[in-house]
Structure 1
Amino acid sequence: MTVTTLFNFSMYRSTCRVAAVTVLSVLVQACATDALKNAPQAADKPWQPFVEQDATPQTKPTASKGLDFSVPANSRVSQIRPAPVLLSDHSYSLYELIDIAQRENPSTRLAWNTARQAALTQGMVEATFLPIISARVIGGWGHSRSPINLPFMGETDINVRAQGVVPALALEWLLFDFGQRRALAAGAGHLSDAANVLFNAAHQKVIRDVTHSYYQYGLSRERVRITEQSYRNAQQVAQAVQERYQAGVGTSVESAIATQHVAQARLRKVTAEGVHTTAYQNVLAAVGLPGNSQIALSTQMSRPLEHISAELADEAIEQALSQRPDVLASYSALQAAQEGVKAAEAEFAPKVFVAGVVAHTRSEFGVNNLPDWQRRSFPSALMVGLNLPIFDSGLRAARLKDAQISVSKAEDMFQKLQQDAMREMIAMHSLLRSALAAYQAAGELEQAAQIAYDAALDAYKYGVGTITLAHEASSGLLDAQLARADAHVAALNAAADLAFLMGEMTSAPQP
């Protein structure tokens, strides 16, 4: 065989390898792009699950029927978490609703898992202070065949086989890093503290939300009662008009006006009932119960309201700032950012580490029919190293600057949160005072409106008043009663919000 023939044969084999690699690459790309069949086929066409050609074809939307953008149903998605057992013959108070919400509301479990993950992060950072010991096993087998021309033996083959196993125990331990790990562990600890504080904050928010929804439900029930009473008052006026009309002293105009007033009162009653249904669903949502739950609620809209001091003392504001979860969490985030600067500064210092290995090797070597040769050894090593970065194109400097900016942002966020919290508390305290004053004024207005309505109705019955005056007095009484109910709940909500903003809404109110 000539050199040219050998060269051509080598080129042929190389060409075959290139062709095989090219075909394989094309096949891989074809498989990757083939996944587009699972995506929507056009921007204006609905997505449908891919169906194989041999499967039963699905019905496709036609132009006459219009495009159907519905999605396939998944029965597993409709499986709702079982609701707690509720007593059908018991009316639940605010205290009991909050107790259920703290166990059933998903936000409390989300905050709990977030706090647990933050604690695990701190544990993972602290684990870097300890050495890493790992077991490794490397084994292998090899075989080679080499043709050789030996004297007196002619052309022959030498078969060589080799096999062995190397189990080893490796040690890696970072001894000294100029406080980088300590700073990272401290920062993770501060973030864990923030997550724990926010976990309690999630419970405080659940208490506030349930309280709000409970009061709004009570308001909706009171408005239903008031509109029902207004409806009965309108019917009472209409009855008086009918009696006067039958006696020959009334007019058809008065009768028509009375009928209109009854219809308006009935519309207000139906609207109030719809709001009441929505308020009930809001209670279920705040507690964390399914929307189809059936639970009886006991509301006390006659709860007395207490007077508050004229001003919010500076000592009370400072105490509130010291125990508000969001302020505490922001302060912990600031401390974590400061530890991040220390960790970034430690990147400029060297790191001292220890590495070691203990191994046991066993190898076997054989050639044709010659006796096998076996070898065992027990190598071990212990090394101390130093790692000192010299040039990294400014990467460490950029990380340090980024950490310093994070500290500045955390300081600004903390100060802003302090100021916002102070303004919220002062504004809510003022709103509570206004709500209490409005409640007192609405109570006086209701008493006056009740007297005016009774007088106007009696005057009309005895023929010394007009139907217009009676209807105006009825509407005035309705407005006064609704205003008093609104002011009462507004004061209760303002008191709950003030307690929440001052970090004092930490448990359910005792029954």
Structure 2
Amino acid sequence: MPQGKAVKQAVCLACYLMSAVPGTVFAQCASTAVTAKAALECAAQNVPSDSVAKLDPSKDYSLAELIDIAEHNNPETRAAWERAKQRAETLGIARSSYYPILVGIATFADQRFVSPFPEALLPRGYSMVETPVAQPQIALQYLLFDFGKRGGEVATARAEALAAGSQFIHANQEVAFAVSKSYYDLLTAEERSEAARAILKTAQTTQDAAEAKLQNGRATLPDVLNARAETAQANFDLASADGQEQIARVALAEELGAEPSPDIRIDATKNAPLPDMLDLPIKALVDRAIADRPDLQAQMLEVQAADQEIRVAKGAYRPSIVLSGDVAQTAIWPTADNSGLGSANEPTWTVSLGIQWRIFDGGARKNELAIAHSKRREAGDTFRDLRDRAQREVWTSYIAFQTAERQQQAAVALLHSANESYSSSLDAYQSGVKNLVDVVTAEKQLALARLSSVSARSQLLLQAVQLEFTTGNLLRNLPPATRSQKQDGLSQ
């Protein structure tokens, strides 16, 4: 399947987010970078840009190049990229709870108050005291133990980060499939235009033969008029095919995120071997989809995140042990209006080890735990539904590819026989053995066969891409599900 720079985005980000979890289907991404930092730097070099694609009307674009352009301009891939980075940063925030918190505090104050004299000294009287204070301070708070609540929060954030990476890959695959479909729609439109030109040429040949026989007195005017009507119909069909081709070009340019224009050109290798056989049985295709589809991976990770949220909610019922302390340098310069007082400049500190245990909260923890259990059931049901849908999609694509394969074989045989039938009917007509009705009938069959051949070829290519998409192999380096017998013969 086609590969482009957009593949690097998916691989790099998946490596950055998922290499920390061994045993996942994305573990092979870790081989693309030595460290997560290197993977992130790799991803940053391929981050989607905000610039609008500018297409060169003189360039023939390959499918890989078109996919690359679309993934850099599609807003869905950019949004998925940002969500994945946000989830990665959220994971960093969750991990920070394992470190102590240091806070620097600087206090500068000035206090003035009235201090009455003790009655033993003076029955009546007071003193005005003013105390300037300067106190730089460092405070520490360290959560030593919380019965796994922090671990659950980190595990939740990690699962959500991995899910975001999978969703980013899935977004890239959806864009790649949409571009592939538009690409093959344009390829079909181009081939329909070529078939329409061939049909017009055939109709013109029939008309020329009828007019030649009319000049020789061996045909009637109605025969010639009938042949001219078929030529006019072929001209009409050609104009329609050319219009559909231009519309397909506009649709492809719009799918790329570029300005809609009929000037886009594709590098279509029409003689390339067609994928005409399956390389994997249906069970292997279903197993690949369940193991490798990024949307399934993302939902499975959402289930894991929901499990960890239950752990966090249960941890709220348990106490936490917190170490607190502060150290400061306190300087004061008190003065009084009746006497001088000495100044002080001494270090002060406080150390405490506290146990915090929420005894009653009006049912908040109970409701949070109930919500966590509900989210877990929701995530599990969604995963099962998505898994069943993936299996149905694989089965549908499998059957559709086999159907397209048989249609392609039938279309080739139909085109061959229709071409021979028309040639023999035209020769017989020119020899006076058959009439023009037989030639026109053979001509219509040949036109239908040409259009059927174009549709069958395009449908086979599209179903091959569909099969890779439904099994999660689009934009990946796994062996494709289909191959060409002709290509195998050439390689041998």
Q: State TM-score, norm by structure 2.
A: 0.75
Give 1:23-172 correspondences, 5 Å limit.
Answer: 81-83=51-53, 88=58, 90-103=59-72, 105-140=74-109, 163-172=132-141
Moved more, 433-442 or 359-368: 359-368
Alpha-carbon separation, structure 2, partners of 1:311 and 1:143: 87
Deviation of 1:381 (Å): 1.1
CA-to-aligned-CA distance 1:449-502 (integer Å, 9 cap, x gap): 212222333444445444443333222211111111111111111111112222
- Cα 1:170–1:409 change in 2 (3 A) is same
CA-to-aligned-CA distance 1:355-397 (integer Å, 9 cap, x gap): 2222334445667898798554543212222221122222211
Q: Secondary structure at the match of 1:341?
A: helix
Alpha-carbon separation, structure 1, partners of 2:187 and 2:295: 30
Moved more, 109-118 or 486-495: 109-118
- Cα 1:324–1:257 change in 2 (3 A) is same
Corresponding residue for residue 167 of structure 2: 198
Deviation of 1:339 (Å): 0.9
Alpha-carbon separation, structure 2, partners of 1:283 and 1:267: 25
- Code of the residue aligned with 1:269 in structure 2: it is L
Corresponding residue for residue 221 of structure 1: 190
Corresponding residue for residue 211 of structure 2: 242
Give 1:185-334 correspondences, 5 Å limit.
Answer: 185-248=154-217, 250-292=219-261, 295-308=264-277, 312-334=281-303
- Code of the residue aligned with 2:96 in structure 1: it is A
Indicate which of 369, 380, 387 corresponds to 2:356: 387
Corresponding residue for residue 178 of structure 1: 147
Deviation of 1:123 (Å): 0.9
Indicate which of 368, 373, 380 corresponds to 1:399: 368
Alpha-carbon separation, structure 2, partners of 1:277 and 1:283: 10
Do 1:312 and 1:429's aligned partners in 2 also have CA atoms closer than 8 Å?
Answer: no
Alpha-carbon separation, structure 2, partners of 1:83 and 1:327: 31
Alpha-carbon separation, structure 2, partners of 1:294 and 1:107: 25
Q: Secondary structure at the match of 1:349?
A: coil
CA-to-aligned-CA distance 1:182-222 (integer Å, 9 cap, x gap): 01101111111222223333333344333323222211110
Moved more, 264-273 or 136-145: 136-145
CA-to-aligned-CA distance 1:124-173 (integer Å, 9 cap, x gap): 0010111111122333557899xxxxxxxxxxxx9987654433222222
Instruction: Indicate the RMSD between aligned Cα atoms, in angstroms.
Output: 3.4
Moved more, 440-449 or 356-365: 356-365
Indicate which of 316, 322, 336 corresponds to 2:305: 336
Do 2:135 and 2:331's aligned partners in 1 also have CA atoms closer than 8 Å?
Answer: yes
- Code of the residue aligned with 1:81 in structure 2: it is S
Do 1:204 and 1:507's aligned partners in 2 also have CA atoms closer than 8 Å?
Answer: no
User: Quick one: percent identity of the two aligned structures?
Assistant: 29
Kindly indicate whether residue 314 of structure 2 is the aligned counterpart of residue 356 of structure 1. Answer: no
Alpha-carbon separation, structure 1, partners of 2:380 and 2:351: 46
Corresponding residue for residue 447 of structure 2: 478
Alpha-carbon separation, structure 2, partners of 1:450 and 1:307: 23
Deviation of 1:431 (Å): 1.1
Do 2:249 and 2:261's aligned partners in 1 also have CA atoms closer than 8 Å?
Answer: no
Deviation of 1:225 (Å): 0.2
Do 1:219 and 1:301's aligned partners in 2 also have CA atoms closer than 8 Å?
Answer: no
Alpha-carbon separation, structure 2, partners of 1:80 and 1:176: 46
- Code of the residue aligned with 2:186 in structure 1: it is Y
Q: Secondary structure at the match of 1:396?
A: helix
Q: Secondary structure at the match of 2:353?
A: strand
Corresponding residue for residue 457 of structure 1: 426
Q: Secondary structure at the match of 2:277?
A: coil
CA-to-aligned-CA distance 1:254-280 (integer Å, 9 cap, x gap): 444334333322221122112212322
Larger Rg: 1
Deviation of 1:224 (Å): 0.6
- Code of the residue aligned with 2:189 in structure 1: it is S
Alpha-carbon separation, structure 1, partners of 2:261 and 2:288: 42
- Code of the residue aligned with 2:193 in structure 1: it is V
- Cα 1:101–1:315 change in 2 (3 A) is same
Alpha-carbon separation, structure 1, partners of 2:418 and 2:306: 62
Do 1:218 and 1:300's aligned partners in 2 also have CA atoms closer than 8 Å?
Answer: no
- Code of the residue aligned with 1:498 in structure 2: it is L
Q: State TM-score, norm by structure 1.
A: 0.72
Q: Which runs of 5+ in 2 are unaligned?
A: 1-48, 115-126, 488-492
Alpha-carbon separation, structure 1, partners of 2:213 and 2:339: 134
Alpha-carbon separation, structure 1, partners of 2:340 and 2:370: 68
Do 1:305 and 1:436's aligned partners in 2 also have CA atoms closer than 8 Å?
Answer: no
Deviation of 1:436 (Å): 0.5
Alpha-carbon separation, structure 2, partners of 1:370 and 1:465: 137
- Cα 1:369–1:310 change in 2 (3 A) is closer
- Code of the residue aligned with 1:240 in structure 2: it is A
Do 1:115 and 1:195's aligned partners in 2 also have CA atoms closer than 8 Å?
Answer: yes
Deviation of 1:341 (Å): 0.8
Corresponding residue for residue 34 of structure 1: none
Corresponding residue for residue 117 of structure 2: none
